[in-house]
Chains A and B, each alone.
Chain A
Amino acid sequence: MPELNAKIPSGPLKDKWTQHKAHIKLVNPANKHKYNIIVVGTGLAGGSAAATLAELGYNVQVFCFQDSPRRAHSIAAQGGINASKNYPNDGDSIYRLFYDTIKGGDFRSREANVYRLAEVSGNIIDQCVAQGVPFAREYAGYLDNRSFGGAQVSRTFYARGQTGQQLLLGAYSALMKEVNKGSVKMFPRTEMLELVVVDGVARGIVTRNLVTGDIETHAADAVVLATGGYANVFHLSTNAKGANVTAIWRAHKKGAFMANPCYTQIHPTCIPVHGDYQSKLTLMSESLRNDGRVWVPKKPQDKRNPRDIPEEERDYYLERKYPSFGNLVPRDLASRNAKEVCDEGRGVGPTGQAVYLDFADALKRSGKAVLAERYGNLFDMYEKITGSNPYDEPMMIYPAAHYTMGGLWVDYNLMSNLPGLFVIGEANFSDHGANRLGASALMQGLADGYFILPYTIGDYLAGVKAGKATTDIPEFKEAEKYAKEKINRLLTIRGKRTVDEFHRELGLLMWNQCGMARDEKGLKEALSRIFEIRNEFWQNVDVPGSGTDLNQSLERAGRVADFLEFAETMVYDALHRKESCGGHFREEFQTPEGEALRNDNHFCYVAAWEFNGVGKEPVLHKEPLDFEEVHLAQRNYK
């Protein structure tokens, strides 16, 4: 197999992006309107990309399954967005943000991509402020910063606990400005079902209008997927209910490589599971770990009220094990340690699957008003959901599936191995390695959309003859026919189990066997169980209603069908990676202290999988990761 070429520019790390921008091809401003670009997804990445491409003069068509582009799941991001502005004067720099991100990702990401991300991080804050994003400010009128996991500087900009909402509304407003000008055509309540590939080149998509059920085809000179992550493969996750793998999975089936799908992030601070009807897990922002202290009782099965447990009988295990980062260790470490203490029988709450996040000391130190200013909306949300008041009692938290570092493989230009198919934001695999640091997802989504893709897509389009996009070719008819047949098949099974029942079964299996900790035996069992669940799905699922109107069961059925195929690829990836790194923890590979044990000699590469048929082991392609700037080291947060 030929090695994948990531097309990383030559030259010193700090000059790569500048040099690349100076030398890539450009599309003449007068010709830009002749190029059609499809953008699927309107989160931070898709929204910002679509707006910026339209500003540049391209003809842009934008699709989202929600009723409005303003609702994409980026909106739920709470804590903040990183940028190496060094406004607090605490020693931050582009290099430090780059290094923290590489190290946080457990040395499994591309140096050049991560450096570029750190380089443009400051521009993002400038852009958002200019759009009217109301970031938190100090009394002097300047922006406030806070710290986040995996960093020892305060570089996180925030807007109360709703940073994602405010950034997304900024991108949405930029997008609507272009809709108003007529340079963007918006297709809400429309789901992408197929990618159309002609002679190996991405040429368009097939969609379903979720209100009328109409199957439609759209041609373009380039297709941009910004469709988010696949954490809902676990059924219970912090993702929105509609978040799905469908767009990237169907592109994968048409030839796009899926990279590192086993790198999934389990967020340490979520409200624990409390019933089998549960539809989602709610995240409590990582920023809470700035002031909250994580602890469990020292004794197993200690059922006393937390306030009756004296200080000396509590184990502040993160502070004990990692004195220099304390409660602000990266997410993978915080999650795994929570699992460990619960496995030892020291978990709290009715299920024993929870740990305390206690604000008593911070309340004493700073007072209720200050905490309310920082976290008021999070505390209120916690109380609404659980009925318990975190000002009086410690919160109970437990890890939950939250973000997926894996995704479609892209080169330095954010283009997949299929020419014309670009993938941005969480949907690609690019910048976070095996673990993402807090407040970096918003940064990556907006970096890709505002400041990277708009340049790199021009380099591709400059080599494409404009105005050739047409749906009037057999490949579109075939893809349309295939999409229709799949819908008909789902509607005619009329079995005995609901779509949600299958999703729950798959999710629990993936959580237990391919979640926070994995081993060979469990992964092999998972492979055979996924096969069985998928087979039963296609014989026994009941999808009521018709295909010619709004049918939410049908929408879910299509997405769960894709999760049932995708899950296998994720497990194959986890099985093949015989090392532990970041969010991928293989029980067999750990240090004597129980930390992730990487194997740099054998696994210092991106695993990019080529589709080889449903149920068949995909074909592995490797992109070696060369570290020129940083020295590979065992992560140390002690």
Chain B
Amino acid sequence: MSKINLTLKVWRQKNGREKGGFETYTAKDIDTDMSFLEMLDVVNEQLTHEGKEPIAFDHDCREGVCGMCGAVINGQAHGPLKGTTLCQLHMRNFRNGETLVIEPWRSRGFPILKDLVVDRSAFDRIIAAGGYISVKTGQAPDAHAVPVRKEDSDTAFDAAACIGCGACVAACPNASAMLFTAAKVSHLSHLPQGQVEAPERVIKMVEQMDKERFGNCSNEYECEAACPKEISVEHIARMNSEYRQAKWKAKH
């Protein structure tokens, strides 16, 4: 265990209506075993004692699975460590004396609510548009009625591991939500249970994604690089192909 000192440049913005800007703080004697969010906790305790308002940031489970936390650190969504959410990023990954620029996700689809907190309800609306199998409680047959190839089930899982944090959007130069949307489309269409509604699902979800004013995909692969669950861009390719087929089917 060792201690480091850091300079933080943090985006502060009172609410969605007012303009924001960077404030500079020092984070002193930071234990390198701390998580990034614990470092922010320490800074917030200090700000409170100084009579200032602490930095607002979303967080909950602090074990990398709820998808609530996230910020851009020195231009990288969730910081420098691959496959890691902010809460699982530990301070041993930073050097003494470093300056860290900390910003919220930036996208038209994610309006800022305060400081590092953004409104990601667009993701919920994309799921509501079709990101499910429309089975009602009680309708299910025995779980073993339909065997599922292990390969398909594993691929479905890889896509289903998405935590909906929004890092893919934040990392994309076009603020595209293709990886998020594709992960759900691909998760469900890899399973026999999800095939029935697959054509309608992909059309509805893509339409909603466009309505939410997310940008288009231009194959930068930044989303995959930033994704804390390392979800592959191959799912985007699959979604595009499903979308084309579904559109063709709808016409003919």
Contacts and interface: CB of A to CB of B under 8 A. Distances in A.
Contacts of A128: 143
Given A132-B133, A180-B128, A498-B48, A139 B150 contact: yes
Given A132-B187, A550-B56, A87 B144 contact: yes
Contacts of B123: 68
Contacts of B134: 177
B169 to A, nearest CB: 14
Interface residues of B, number: 80
A625 B92 CA distance: 53
B48 A544 contact: yes
Contacts of A127: 135, 137-138, 140
Contacts of A48: 137
A240 B60 contact: yes
Interface in B101-152: 113-114, 117, 119-121, 123-124, 127-144, 146-150
B147 A131 contact: no
Contact of B88 (A73, A242, A381, A450): A381
Of B53, B136, B191, most buried by chain A (CB within 10 Å of CB) is B136
B149 A85 contact: no
A450 B67 CA distance: 25
Contacts, number: 215
A384 interface: yes
Interface in B20-58: 31, 33-35, 37-38, 41-42, 45, 48-49, 51-54, 56, 58
B132 to A, nearest CB: 4
B19 to A, nearest CB: 16
B65 A132 contact: no
B160 A126 contact: no
B66 A549 contact: no
Interface string A471-509: 000000000000000000000000000101100000000
Interface in B61-92: 61-68, 81, 83-84, 88, 90, 92
Given A132-B132, A134-B157, 12 more contacts: A52-B137, A71-B60, A129-B140, A137-B148, A140-B147, A143-B143, A165-B65, A172-B127, A173-B127, A274-B33, A450-B137, A544-B48
Interface of A: 48, 51-52, 55, 66-71, 73, 75-76, 85, 87, 123, 125-132, 134-143, 159-160, 162, 164-166, 169, 172-174, 176-177, 179-180, 186, 188, 211, 240-242, 274-275, 277-280, 282-283, 380-381, 384-385, 387, 450-451, 454, 498, 500-501, 542, 544-545, 549-550, 552-553
24 contacts: A66-B60, A66-B68, A68-B124, A70-B164, A71-B164, A129-B143, A130-B140, A130-B141, A131-B135, A132-B156, A134-B153, A135-B143, A141-B149, A160-B157, A165-B161, A166-B157, A173-B127, A174-B135, A188-B124, A385-B35, A387-B33, A450-B137, A544-B53, A549-B114
